[in-house]
């Protein structure tokens, strides 16, 4: 039942994104330059809420636009109605809906849907990860120098040692391809599908990674925080990889050098 509700919610929200893409809609700004929210974010969120509330009216919901709608429940739905809003607002079809379902503090289900590419990623803890119902697995690239990586940058830049630009520069100076798609949920799913070998980002919110990190783990990958500790989506930093380059990626993000 949980899976059915999750898939219905994410597919319905994806249809909202598709129907309104490249149409005229209201765009406003949140904290930080270009941290956008559109009326379509709110429409997508409303559709998701209505489907969840119909089946599970007592479940806890955490959503990017409405915040923490706490209830006394062991289940929590963690929702990003549009991950990649800047892309969406500019007519760039690299964006998605992301929903994770947590039980007693542990992520159990995750789904990410990009309706423009017709790609629905799904994972259930202990049952593997799929793309459009076909099993997916992380890559087997063992050499970080030969890897294809992906990252993102926060709207409010983090002026810190080994910050986003410093780490990015290290890879670029060695000719290692590092992409920047503008959607952390898609970044994670593409690691899970073996398109990227690794992903790192210094500052995310729970709704950015809740579904995606489970999808990576269930595809055979590894996900930690920036210190290499057990990952949870309520802290900002993340490293996700095929597992084979993880230690090296962790080392470089924390100040190590590339030979």
Per residue in 165-205, pLDDT (tens digit) is: 999 999 999 999 999 999 999 999 999 999 999 999 999 99
Task: Give Dmax over CA atoms of the chain in angstroms.
Answer: 56
Burial (0-12, 13-18, 19+ Cβ within 10 Å), 73: middle
CATH dotted code for 2-135: 3.30.540.10
Contact partners, residue 146, CB within 8 Å, separation at least 6? none
What pLDDT does 31 receive? 65
pLDDT above 90: percentage of residues in the chain:
85
In whole angstroms, give the CA distance from residue 249 to residue 48: 36
Res. 75: pLDDT tops 70 = yes
Under the banding of pLDDT at 50, 70 and 90, the label for residue 26 is confident
Q: What is the pLDDT of residues 137-168, one digit of tens each?
A: 999 999 999 999 999 998 777 678 889 999 99
What pLDDT does 245 receive? 98
Query: What amino acid positions are annotated as catalytic residues?
Result: 64, 80, 82-83, 85, 208
pTM across the whole model: 0.95
Nearest Cα to Cα of residue 256 among 149, 170, 168, 153: 170
Under the banding of pLDDT at 50, 70 and 90, the label for residue 64 is confident
Res. 37: pLDDT tops 80 = no
What pLDDT does 161 receive? 82
In whole angstroms, give the CA distance from residue 111 to residue 10: 7
Nearest Cα to Cα of residue 185 among 199, 165, 167: 199
For all residues of the chain together, what is the average pLDDT? 94
CATH dotted code for 144-253: 3.40.190.80
Res. 237: pLDDT tops 90 = yes
In whole angstroms, give the CA distance from residue 158 to residue 174: 23
What pLDDT does 158 receive? 67
What pLDDT does 94 receive? 98
Domain boundaries, the chain: 2-135, 144-253
Q: What is the pLDDT of residues 83-142, one digit of tens each?
A: 999 999 999 999 999 999 999 999 999 999 999 999 999 999 999 999 999 999 999 999
Q: Span 49-58, mean pLDDT? A: 97
Are 18 and 120 in contact, with CB atoms under 8 Å apart? no
Are 14 and 118 in contact, with CB atoms under 8 Å apart? no
Q: Give the distance from CA 55 to its chain's centroid.
A: 25
In whole angstroms, give the CA distance from residue 89 to residue 82: 10
What pLDDT does 24 receive? 82
């Amino acid at each position: 039942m949980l899976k059915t509700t999750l898939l219905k919610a994410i597919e319905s929200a994806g249809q909202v994104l598709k129907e309104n893409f490249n149409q005229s809609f209201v765009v406003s700004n949140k904290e930080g330059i270009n941290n956008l929210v559109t009326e379509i974010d709110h429409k997508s969120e409303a559709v998701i809420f209505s489907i969840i509330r119909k089946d599970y009216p007592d479940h806890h919901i955490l959503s990017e636009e409405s915040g923490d709608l706490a209830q006394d429940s062991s289940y929590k739905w963690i929702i990003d109605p549009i991950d990649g809003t800047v892309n969406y607002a500019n007519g760039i079809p690299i964006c998605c809906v992301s929903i994770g379902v947590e039980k007693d503090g542990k992520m159990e289900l995750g789904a990410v849907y990009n309706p423009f590419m017709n790609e629905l990623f799904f994972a259930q803890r202990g049952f593997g990860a799929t793309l459009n119902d076909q099993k997916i697995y992380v890559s087997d690239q063992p050499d970080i120098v030969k890897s294809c990586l992906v990252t993102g940058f926060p709207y409010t830049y983090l002026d810190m040692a080994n910050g986003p630009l410093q780490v990015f520069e290290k890879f670029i100076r060695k000719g290692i391809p590092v992409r920047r798609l503008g959607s952390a949920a898609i970044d994670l799913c593409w690691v899970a599908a073996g398109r990227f070998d690794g992903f790192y980002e210094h500052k995310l919110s729970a709704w950015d990674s809740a579904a995606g990190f489970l999808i990576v783990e269930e595809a055979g990958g590894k996900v930690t925080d920036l210190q290499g500790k057990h990952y949870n989506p309520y802290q900002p930093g993340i490293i996700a990889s095929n597992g084979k380059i993880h230690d090296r990626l962790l080392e470089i993000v924390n100040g190590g050098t590339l030979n």
